Structures are given as C-alpha cells and as structure tokens.
Amino acid sequence: MADMMKGNVAIAEAAIRAGARLYAGYPITPSTEIMEYMSWRMAEVDGVFVQAESEIAGINMIIGGAACGVRAITASSGPGISLKQEGMTTLSDEELPAVVVNMVRYGNGIGTLYSAQCDYHRETRGGGNGDYRCIVLCPSSIQEATELMVLAFDLAEKYRMVSVFMSEGALGQMMEPCELPPMRDLPRYPWGFDGKYTNKKIGIFDRNSRDEAVLLNEKYNRVKENEQRWEANSIEDADYVLVAYGLPGRASIGAAKELRAEGYKVGVIRVITAWPFPEKAFEEVNPNVKGFITIEANATGQLIDDVALTALRTIENKVQCYCRPHVYGIPSVKAIKQDFIDVINGNMKEVY
C-alpha cells in the first residue's frame, strides 16, 4: 500500500534504498528536509553523514566519498548549487559518479523561497568550467521522484558521471501517496580507493587531455542515444504540442487532456531527462504540427531554446515555437489552457 509521504522525505529514503551511503551538505530551503532525514537515517544503514561547513565543502566531501567507490549524494537549492559547480566539474573531470539534488527555488543571487524552474539552463549546460555534461532527471510526482532517484544512481554508475536530480521546491514540500523502491544492498563501486593503489586511473597526472575529451564526448553521445526519457500524450496528430517538465509538466498533461475534450488537437511532451534532451519524442510528433508551446516556471524562458533547436532538427517544416514563462509557482490547468488559447488567437508571439 502506498503511504502518504512528504516529497523531500521520500527522495531521501529512495536514495538510501538506491544505495546511497554518503551524504554531505549544507541546509537550504526548500531542500533541508533531505539533509535532516539523512542525518539520522544514514547511520542506520552504516553510511556516512557529514554536516559540512559549506556547500563547497559538501560537494568536495561527495568527491572524496565517490573516489572511495561510495554512492554519494548531496542536496541543495539554487544558490547552494551555484557553490557546488566547482565540485560538479571536478566530479565530471575525474569521471566520478554522484547524485546532486536541486530542489529549485526562484531567483538570482540568494533568490526567493518560491518553487520554480529557473535553473534549467545551468543544470542542462553545466554551470562549472569546462566541457562536461550531467544527466538531468526531472520528476513530476513524488512517486516518480523515488523511481528517478534509483535511476539517478544507476545512470551515474553506468556512465560514471553526475546525475542532477532537478525538481521544484514545491515537490519537496508536498505530500502524495508513494510506493518506495525496495532496499538494495549493493557493494561499493569496484574501482574506489583502497589505499593499495589497486586502480591506477584516479588522480593520474600525466593525462592526455585531447584524447580524454574525445572519449568523454563519445560517452556523452552514448548517453544521448540511450537515455532520453519523456512522457508523451497524443502527439501523433497534434496541431499544437505543449512541452514542459516537472510539476508544470504534470499540469500540462491535464490541460492537454481537457483541451482535447474541448475539440482542440493538442498533445503534450513531458520532458523527464532535461539532458539528454528527448529529441526522439519530437520524431513522433505530427510532421504538420503548427506549434510547440513551452510552459515554464521561470521569467526568461529556458526550455524553449532546447525545444526550438530540437524542432529544427526533427521536423521538416518550420514550426512556430512559443513560450509562456510563469516566473514561479505551478501554473494551473486553467492558466495553461489560457496560454494555448492565447497562442491560437494570436495573442502570444512566437519566440522562434
């Protein structure tokens, strides 16, 4: 039977069950409950919990744990994740797997406490220096969050890269019925530090950066080919397709369903992997589609860039791409329906 659980608690417990045995971080609203839960839960599974002195120290502890082959996770929100970028590019450089949770809150600088999607560009492009990618997973329900947490660890391990678990503040704070994944008892990654220098790869200095970069890019291409995930509804015959992720994605599914019932040929693509972006979903869209409409909880419109680029690549005709940035919060079904009406009435100008 599914129990009612708070999002952040379910996310933390799912991480434990997925095999996380190191948590290090610094509290920040709206992710703090994840850390609070880990502070006592980690000890119960013989894991390591460290209340770090800073976000930067937290992510560097994740590096230390991951280097020992331990499944490691940290959680934060917007400004905290900004501080973690140094560690995330280092993890990517060392090809160490880890899971970084961003329970996004709105705003620049220290930001606000509103639930939002303003960090899309940063998470999908990589906010640290260099030339790396992170897998970015975006749940739209607490149930899906627990499932994606397991996937986040598995993909991080499989490709030896960072999985960013990008959700909105609201998902962490709300409660829903949720069935937790089974507890896994996994050994450490086989290549971690053992003090005997068994594995020669980690930390070697005489590196060939050009060859490494080419190999890294090949790996990223494999991820793009194999790990795109999305949920699509009624896109094969759609005149218009709503594109969104997270809680706005969930509301967009509801809006598309109601618009269909009202006679509009509207489909929806809910993005689950913001990176790799689900290009394959667009290949299934009606080739004569008239427009894509992104529904976003930010001010500038960020997802729209990926949608427009993907439409260019996958659909022969030029398709208009619209964006309705709701700034923060979760747009209601009613608001999203109005966004669509604005598009067909010519009250919203296309972005691309």
Partner 1 sequence: MSKAKKVPYLVDRPMSFCPGCGHGIVIRLVAECLEELEQSDNIVFPIGVGCSSLLGGGVEADRLHCSHGRAGAVATAIKRCNPNNVVISYQGDGDAYSIGIGETTSAAYRNEKFTTIIINNTNYGMTGGQMSNTTLPNQKTNTSVYGRDCSVTGNPLRFPELAADQFNVGYAARGSVHDVANIRKTKSYIKKALEMQLSGAGYSVVEVLSPCPTNWKMEPLEAMKHISEHVTTYFPLGEFVEKEEK
Residue whose entry in the numeric block shows the structure tokens 């678990």: 165
Stretch that binds partner 1, among 62-70, 163-171, 236-244, 313-321 (CB under 8 A): 62-70
The SS3 of residue 30 is: coil
How many CB atoms are closer than 10 A to CB 85? 18
Residues facing residue 165 across a β-bridge:
101, 137
Nearest-approach distance from CB 142 to partner 1, in angstroms = 29
Please, which residue, 193 or 264, has the CB nearer to partner 1?
Answer: 193
Stretch that binds partner 1, among 45-53, 99-107, 146-154, 158-166 (CB under 8 A): 45-53
Q: Residue type at 124? A: T
Stretch that binds partner 1, among 10-18, 48-56, 113-121, 236-244 (CB under 8 A): 48-56
Nearest-approach distance from CB 33 to partner 1, in angstroms = 22
How many CB atoms are closer than 10 A to CB 64? 16
Please, which residue, 64 or 181, has the CB nearer to partner 1?
Answer: 64
Please, which residue, 206 or 316, has the CB nearer to partner 1?
Answer: 206
Instruction: Report the distance separating Cα 107 and Cα 114, nearest Å.
Output: 8
Instruction: Report the distance separating Cα 352 and Cα 333, nearest Å.
Output: 24
Nearest-approach distance from CB 66 to partner 1, in angstroms = 8
Q: Please count the residues of this chain forming the interface with partner 1, following the rule CB under 8 A.
A: 35
Please, which residue, 6 or 21, has the CB nearer to partner 1?
Answer: 21
The SS3 of residue 269 is: strand
Instruction: Report the distance separating Cα 78 and Cα 261, nearest Å.
Output: 38
Among the listed residues 29, 36, 48, 234, the single contact to partner 1 using CB under 8 A: 48
Q: 273 φ, ψ to 5°?
A: -100, 105
Nearest-approach distance from CB 259 to partner 1, in angstroms = 49
The SS3 of residue 299 is: coil
Helices 209-226 and 142-159, axial angle in degrees (round to 10)? 140
Site for partner 1 in 64-93 (CB under 8 A): 64-65, 67-68, 70, 72, 86-87, 90
Nearest-approach distance from CB 39 to partner 1, in angstroms = 14
Among the listed residues 18, 35, 61, 137, the single contact to partner 1 using CB under 8 A: 61
Query: Which residues have a Cβ under 8 Å from the Cβ of 155 and sit 6 or more positions away?
Result: 135, 137, 161, 163, 223, 227
Nearest-approach distance from CB 340 to partner 1, in angstroms = 46
Question: Torsion angle of alpha carbons 311, 105, 171, 337, nearest 10°?
Answer: -50
Q: Can you read off the two tokens belonging to residue 114?
A: 């509103």
Counting contacts by CB under 8 A, is residue 94 touching partner 1? yes
Please, which residue, 82 or 141, has the CB nearer to partner 1?
Answer: 82
Query: Which residues have a Cβ under 8 Å from the Cβ of 334 and sit 6 or more positions away?
Result: none
Please, which residue, 72 or 343, has the CB nearer to partner 1?
Answer: 72
Nearest-approach distance from CB 53 to partner 1, in angstroms = 4
For residue 17, the number of C-alpha atoms closer than 13 Å in the C-beta half-sphere is 18
Site for partner 1 in 163-222 (CB under 8 A): 193-197, 199, 202-203, 205-206
The SS3 of residue 47 is: coil
Nearest-approach distance from CB 56 to partner 1, in angstroms = 7
Among the listed residues 27, 36, 39, 56, the single contact to partner 1 using CB under 8 A: 56
Nearest-approach distance from CB 44 to partner 1, in angstroms = 16
332 contacts 301 by C-beta, under 8 angstroms: no
Nearest-approach distance from CB 107 to partner 1, in angstroms = 25
The SS3 of residue 335 is: helix
Residues of the shown chain interacting with partner 1 in the complex, contacts defined by CB under 8 A: 21-22, 24, 48, 50, 52-54, 56-58, 60-65, 67-68, 70, 72, 86-87, 90, 94, 193-197, 199, 202-203, 205-206
